[in-house]
Amino acid sequence: MTASPELDAPRQASPELLRSVFRQHAAGVAVITAAGDRPVGFTATSLNSVAAEPPLISFGVGTSSSSWPVLAEAEHVGVHILGEHQQELAATFARSGADRFGPSTYWRSGPEGVPVLGGVLAWLVCRVVARVPAGDHRIVIAQVVAGDPAGVGRPLLYHQGRFNALRD
């Protein structure tokens, strides 16, 4: 084995190492919503397809998130795939203390009473089947019960700490 000039000395595991590595990973941007006394939602880049039969998805949520108390009890969640034209919506749902469901956010009550956002590329309403402890987060696994993939446009991405669009 020969030394490669591209390989630096490994760094010890830390939250900063994980964040630094994942800044190199482009991820799709989604907004997760749930109904409570007031609707809640947050921007997520941890959305994954888990299985096709039954149709399952997963996402991570921090237990210190303002949305967590509602998500911890919610039977259903909304999953929204954002388009490249929705950077401001993504930023609103990512910003602490923002009025996420205020006048600038187009939404309605959808299946199972879940807040469904307008203008997205696609959305799902899912029944929560598990909340798995994972450090300071929970991995939520949910089964799809309804949705619409008919939005138009290209997906919004998150890379290097900012929102981006696909380039051809």
* More confident position, 19 or 108: 108
Give the span between the Cα atoms of 119 and 106, in whole angstroms: 8
Q: Which residue from 164, 24, 146 is spatially nearest to 90, judged by alpha carbons?
A: 164
Q: Is 15 helix (H, G, I), strand (E, B) or coil?
A: helix
The strand ranges marked E within 87-136 are 107-109, 115-117, 122-134
Q: Indicate the burial class of 119 (C-beta count within 10 angstroms; 0-12, 13-18, 19 or more).
A: middle
Give the distance from CA 158 to its chain's centroid: 11
Cβ atoms of residues 124 and 81 within 8 Å: no
pLDDT in tens, 56-102: 999 999 999 999 999 999 999 999 999 999 999 999 999 999 999 99
Percent of the chain with pLDDT strictly greater than 70: 96
In the predicted structure, residue 22 carries a pLDDT above the cut 80: yes
| Full-model pTM | 0.92
**What's the pLDDT band for 2 if we cut at 50, 70, 90?**
low
In the predicted structure, residue 1 carries a pLDDT above the cut 70: no
Q: Indicate the burial class of 105 (C-beta count within 10 angstroms; 0-12, 13-18, 19 or more).
A: buried
In the predicted structure, residue 156 carries a pLDDT above the cut 90: yes
